[in-house]
Amino acid sequence: MSQTSDIQFNGLYAHELTVSRSEQVLLEDAELHLAPSTITYLHGENGAGKTTLMRCLAGLLPADHGEVYWNKLPITHPESNYFQDLIFLAHSLSMKNELSIAENLSFYASLRTKVSLNKQQLQQQISSVLNELGIGGLEDRMFAELSAGQQHKVALARLMLEPAKIWILDEPFVNLDHKTRGWLSEKALAFKQQGGTVLFTSHHHIEELPIDQSVGVEHE
């Protein structure tokens, strides 16, 4: 295991990462560097291990070997800010069917920020993001009543409501209409300009979103 001081890279850096799933090795001694202000496209076939790799980078899945660093500190280090800086949007949308859109979104926003938020301000923010996404006025609708595409949009709204420095997005473009794809690309580019790091997967080429780095996961 390497020392913290060896790592000179800012952003997210995976060192000698070995990940396996049900006794099948998906990655062996992989090095991966996601610098600040970059957008990285992760591609690979179905079942190649894209999601597994993302979950490992998000710290949800322990690596068999190797370490993931965020701004030179291991992400498991007590002083690491990684989990405050990270938004990980997985396949499962993580929203409660029993709560309204606004309740779902403000729950995550208030979990993220330790200080108590100005409620009115947060509600306004939520309304304006939902407007941009074309689902304005549905704030009080129960999450379960929305269509799949709309539910997906609600999950994406979190990106605008929670401060972060790195986005790890698993298939963010699936289920989205043309307009929302453009919206997400625009937001990702703006995020990049502010020094943000983006990692996303997709099965299709996204024309709207210029990428800086492309990483492939392949079967052995």
Partner 1 sequence: MIMTLLRRELKVARRNWIGLAIPLLFFIIVVSLFPFAVSPDAPVLQQLAPGVIWVAALLSMLLSLEQFYRSDYQDGALEQLLLMSSPTMVAASKILAHWLLTGLPLVILSPLLGVLMQINHGVEHSTHTWVLMLSLVLGTPTLCLLGAVGMSLTLAASRNGLLVSILIIPLYVPVLIFGASTVTASLENMRYNGELAILGAFLLITLVFAPFASGRALKISVG
Binding site for partner 1 (CB under 8 A): 55, 58-62, 83, 86, 88, 90-99, 103, 107-108, 110-112
User: Which among 106, 104, 178, 90 is positioned nearest to 141, based on CA atoms?
Assistant: 104
27/209 with CB nearer partner 1? 27
Question: Alpha-carbon distance 65 to 8, whole Å?
Answer: 20
Q: Residue 158 pairs with which residues in a beta bridge?
A: none
What does the block give as tokens for 108?
């995550």
State the minimum distance, in angstroms, from the CB of residue 84 to partner 1: 8
From the CB of 92, what's the least distance to partner 1, in Å?
A: 3
Task: Measure Cα distances from 213 to 1, 34, 125, 195, 218 in Å.
Answer: 27, 9, 32, 15, 16
Task: In angstroms, give the least distance from the CB of 21 to partner 1.
Answer: 10
Q: How far is the CB of 193 from partner 1 (least distance, A)?
A: 25
Give whichever of 52 and 202 is closer to partner 1, judged by the CB atom: 52
* Lookup result for tokens 């997400």: 184
Nearer to partner 1, 61 or 211 (CB): 61
CB 38 within 8 A of CB 192: yes
Q: Of 99 and 206, which CB lies nearer to partner 1 in the complex structure?
A: 99
